[in-house]
Amino acid sequence: MRRKIDRYALVSVFDKTGIVEFTKVLIHLGYQIISTGGTGKMLSENGIEVIPIQSVTGNPESFDGRMKTISFQVESGILFDRSKISHQKEAKKLKIPFIDIVVCNLYPFEQTAAKRGVKLDEAVESIDVGGPTMIRAAAKNFKHVLVVVDPNDYPTLSILLRSSILFEKRRKELAAKAFRHLSFYDAQIALYLDKKPFPHEFALPLRKLMTLRYGENPHQKGAFYGYPHVQSLLHKLKKRWGRDLSLVNLTDINAGIEAVRLFREYASVVIKHNSPCGIALGKTGKEALARAIEADPQSAFGGVVVTNFALDTDSASVIASFKDEKKGTIDVVACPRIDVSTLSFLQTIRKSMGVYTFGIIPRKTKDPYNIKWVDGGLVLQTHDNNIDKSFLTWKTVTTEKPTGRELQQMQIAWKFLSRIRSNTIVVIDKNLPMTRGIGSGQTSRIRSAKIALEQAGNFTKGGILASDSFFPFEDCVKLAAKNGIAAIVQQGGSINDNASIAAANKARITMVFTERRAFWH
């Protein structure tokens, strides 16, 4: 008669959610439980008989717990191939336990590294070594060993294990989940230890934060993933009312945040297709929002409103007026905070409007990289920050010099266009901090200029025109002069700069070179 082989489950978890109940299921199914330190203590306190890990390894936990699970006995018990008779015989000869289930999650490096003022040594001590080794071994041997890294899987697995219908496909899915978990964990550590950009090999640790209503189009699916321990406003995004977000809604909110975060003043923007159609500042939130919509009410229809100030009933009344007077609707409103009365008021304006909050906006993004997708990979770049500092190197190149007001408006215009899709020409009011015309996303700079000037209408007289790059020809300056523009700010650096300067001097237009480009794609 063949001797029955003892079966073991190795249980070693930092997150102990649901582990007692799941372990009881494993015992009921005939598994003996091998466990470590804190997990073993908790299981024992709940009446579960546990085999201490040192009884298997033959060695005590050592070096303040740095060594406890890594051993020939444990790793062999997980890794040997049950389908090979030779492996089975060798395991019995070497007295290797048949560890058929590994339940393991890791030291909380993510939480430790995110703590304010954390020291390097403290973070390093939170790097798990034994856990990943066991998980990796079990995931490799998934045909014979079940690997469980997520407490959310305990209820389903409890049912499947009792029913004996745990197919290889499910085992493989759990193995893939385990490898993703390890990759996520290791990528965080790499980013923490070396924050220099553009390493030779690069992995992004991303966690799913939101399932989107759909992708770019209703027939496409989408989800939002975020970095761990990054103070991102989109991570804090909270639905207060109305519609769930599509990919475009989410990216519109992101574009809006990027546009208004540059300002300490009350700032508001209306976003369509990831680019502003109206940006404005004001002495009050109501004034900023009213100006942002007034800048282009036609395009604002169906737009996403983002502010850098808490929305109150007074400022929200602008959205009601837009609906009543212009028959215009807003799809989504996103702001740092909103009170209960204002939320109730917005609900009366449009039932399907989405209302979201995201907390106080820092001046600069905390994301480690700006990332652009390309076929087969990603392009990484640093962020376009410190725009204010660039003002110090601006150079007036025309006979006419800017007045104090014109220079102030130029600086506001430059911030505005730095978050608008290129090619960009912006016309802003001669006095008010608001856009009057935006030409963006065009393949020709003169075409962008025509769109911006046409949209600005009579507000071009004495207005400010800003270009996110240089003028390749003097045609933009001549068109600006024809429309009464008083001052131009542009990058400069074209081989035809002299022609543009001459055209500006002839029209008595002030022109300033930034010597810095402001593309935004």
Q: Which of 87, 144, 273, 323 is catalytic?
A: 273
Question: Burial letters for 27-41: b for 16+ Cβ neighbours within 10 Å, e otherwise?
Answer: eeeebbbbbbeebbe
Contacts of 5 (CB under 8 A, 6+ apart): 98
Pair 338, 210: CB distance under 8 Å: no
Q: Which of 16, 140, 229, 326 is catalytic?
A: 140
Q: Which two tokens stand for residue 136?
A: 């990796």
3 state SS for 317-346:
HHHHHHHHHHCCCEEEEEECCECHHHHHHH
| Amino acid at the residue 110 | E
Asked if 140 is an active-site residue, the reply is yes
Name the burial class of residue 253, with classes exposed (0-12), middle (13-18) and buried (19+) by CB atoms within 10 angstroms of its CB: buried
Pair 267, 364: CB distance under 8 Å: no
Pair 414, 428: CB distance under 8 Å: no
Q: Which two tokens stand for residue 97?
A: 């336990």
3-state DSSP assignment of residue 62 = strand
What is the distance between the alpha carbons of residues 12 and 225, in angstroms, rounded to a whole number? Answer: 28
Contacts of 217 (CB under 8 A, 6+ apart): none
Q: Which two tokens stand for residue 111?
A: 């939480």
Question: Burial letters for 284-305: b for 16+ Cβ neighbours within 10 Å, e otherwise?
Answer: ebbbbbbbbbbbbbebbbebbb
What is the distance between the alpha carbons of residues 269 and 291, in angstroms, rounded to a whole number? Answer: 9
470: left (phi over 0), alpha (psi -120 to 50) or beta: beta
Asked if 235 is an active-site residue, the reply is no
φ, ψ for residue 272 (rounded to 5)? -135, 125
What is the distance between the alpha carbons of residues 205 and 517, in angstroms, rounded to a whole number? Answer: 31
Q: What is the largest CA-CA distance in the chain?
A: 107
Place of tokens 């790499």: 190
Helices (H), 142-269: 154-163, 168-193, 247-260
Active site residues: 140, 273
